[in-house]
Amino acid sequence: MHIMYSHQRGFTLIEAIITLIIIAIISGLLGFILLVPLETYRDTQKQTDVTEQLRRVSRNFNQAIQHALPHSVRIKKTGNITALEFLHVLDMGFFRQHTENTHSALDFTVNQGQFSIIGKLQQVNKFQFGNGATTCLQSQADCLIIQNTGQPPTSSLAITTGQSHNAYLGMQDNYAGNIATLSNGNNQQLQFDNSDVNNWHFSATGHNRFYIVDMPSSFICDTTTGELKHYRNYSITATQTTTLPADQGYVVIDNLTNCDFNYTAPNNGRTGFVTMTFTLSPNIHFFQQAAIHDE
């Protein structure tokens, strides 16, 4: 009888451990090789998303400021909140200063009336009409505004001087003003109605340009929440506020760590500028400047 012995044998423990180590090293290298492109892709996608966000902010800001009523820009800071506000112009034109045949001039001695227009309005089909002074101030109707210089800054000073060229001050019966509710109109004539304010009438002006304003508008930064919001369609008030109803605003961009606005007013026909700067976490700096023109 012959006994056959096999010369085959299994892995030793050391060989198994070495094999596992080699497999782990190869897996780690493969994982690293795959991870680097993936992280690069994620970083690139994140940068693309941020860039697109900033482009959207830039477009939004520029388009809004281009429609700002001259000398209506104002800035207020309260704690961690910074607010930029202005009155949004829907349309503009020129009123007649002298009555000719069927064309009537703007009467600066009445609290309601009508006047003929020189040229053609562009947005007349969008006008919202109303009656009474408060309708315009509550953004329930469009406002007719003439020569807005932003002066005087307060109602008490307007009472002292007897007139106001600051649309934010609204209408009172103890001084002539520059804002009235648009009550009717077309491409030939416009009507205004402040008849509920007894002695009100338009302040004298050296210009014959008028503006149709449909609403106030605000960009408000809150570094506590890290949000920049854009608000529209709220009431016009003499004093600027940094707190507005949430349903009248939307988030433009978030993740802010700081934010600021600056305003250089136009003067003697020279262009003014509104500047917005902010920083996004972790360390992305944004600067945007928009031009605003004098009357």
Start-to-end CA distance of the chain, whole Å, equals 121
Quick one: pLDDT at residue 34? 56
CA atoms within 13 A on the CB side of 160: 7
Quick one: pLDDT at residue 41? 46
286 close to 279: Cβ distance less than 8 angstroms: yes
Residue-wise pLDDT tens for the chain (295 aa)? 455 545 555 557 676 677 777 777 776 666 666 555 555 545 555 566 777 777 888 888 888 999 999 999 999 999 999 999 999 999 999 998 888 877 899 999 999 999 999 988 999 999 999 999 999 999 999 999 998 999 999 999 999 999 999 999 999 888 999 999 999 999 899 999 999 998 899 988 878 899 999 999 999 999 999 999 999 989 999 999 998 887 788 998 888 888 999 999 888 778 889 999 988 877 888 888 898 877 6
Residue 119: how many CB atoms within 10 A of its CB? 9
Angstrom distance (rounded) from CA 23 to CA 30: 10
Residue corresponding to tokens 């006994």: 3
DSSP string, 175-213: BBBSEEEEEEE-SSEEEEE-TTSTT--BPP-S--EEEEE
Quick one: pLDDT at residue 58? 84
Quick one: pLDDT at residue 231? 94
pTM of the model: 0.82
Enter the tokens of residue 206. Answer: 């050296």
